[in-house]
Structure 1
Amino acid sequence: MKKICSIYKSPRKDGMYLYVLKADALKRVPEGLLSAFGAPQHSFDLVLSPDKTLAREDIHKVLENLEKQGYHLQMPPPEEEYIEHLPDELLRMNDPV
């Protein structure tokens, strides 16, 4: 089951993305969510299938949400997760000399 998906980023929250079926665009996204999300900024389109891997999301959950509710909201990672993924060199830049 392949789906053509459009991905929008939020102008209000870095790392927050909205996945929608390209054919539906934003028609199935609730008004309240769009209000909180801000004016969606189109990032790119992507073909999704169960055998695909996404960096921060479970592909099966994304496809399920697209099917059932017409959208998937990707929340930004917790702030401490950003720190865990920083390269050691960046972390050492903050060490006193």
Structure 2
Amino acid sequence: MSNAIDCIIYRSRLKDGMYLYLRADLPYADLPEVLRQRMGRDPEEAMRLTLTPERTLARQDASKVMASLAGQGFHLQMPPTDEYLANWDNDKMGLRARREG
């Protein structure tokens, strides 16, 4: 795998929090139809990035995203679950869940 991969990140207009990372050299129209339907007819381009294994992403591991981009040309980031969001908020504030019992 290359040390860097250029990609375009699309934000779904149908599902809040769903993003599609697409290798920059691939056209969006070449994605599988089912994936394009899932993203919506006209997804919004959120940003363009050059990914490296060291890059910090908000909710994804850059190395895993890069592996998906190298292998299939795209990576789908699903919206976070409520449990993830609760833990993320606690982690950001330095809090840990207390266990009863």
Give the TM-score normalised by the residue count of structure 2.
Answer: 0.77
RMSD (Å), alpha carbons: 2.0
Structure 2: gaps (5+ residues): 91-101
Structure 1 runs (4+) greater than 3 angstroms displaced: 83-87
Alpha-carbon distance in structure 1 between the residues aligned to 2:29 and 2:18: 19
Structure 1 residue 64, shift from structure 2 partner: 0.5
The question of whether the paired residues in 2 share the 8 Å contact of 1:4 and 1:46 is answered with yes
Q: Does 1:83 align with 2:92?
A: no
Question: Percent identity among equivalent residues?
Answer: 41
What corresponds to 1:14 in structure 2?
Answer: 16
In the TM superposition, what whole-angstrom CA distance separates every residue of 1:77-96 from its partner, at most 9, and x where no partner exists? Answer: 00232234447xxxxxxxxx
What corresponds to 2:33 in structure 1?
Answer: 31
Give the TM-score normalised by the residue count of structure 1.
Answer: 0.80
Alpha-carbon distance in structure 1 between the residues aligned to 2:60 and 2:88: 16
The question of whether the paired residues in 2 share the 8 Å contact of 1:3 and 1:21 is answered with yes
Structure 1 residue 62, shift from structure 2 partner: 0.3
Structure 1 residue 22, shift from structure 2 partner: 1.2
Structure 1: gaps (5+ residues): 88-97
Structure 1 residue 28, shift from structure 2 partner: 4.2
Match of 1:63 among 66, 76, 79: 66
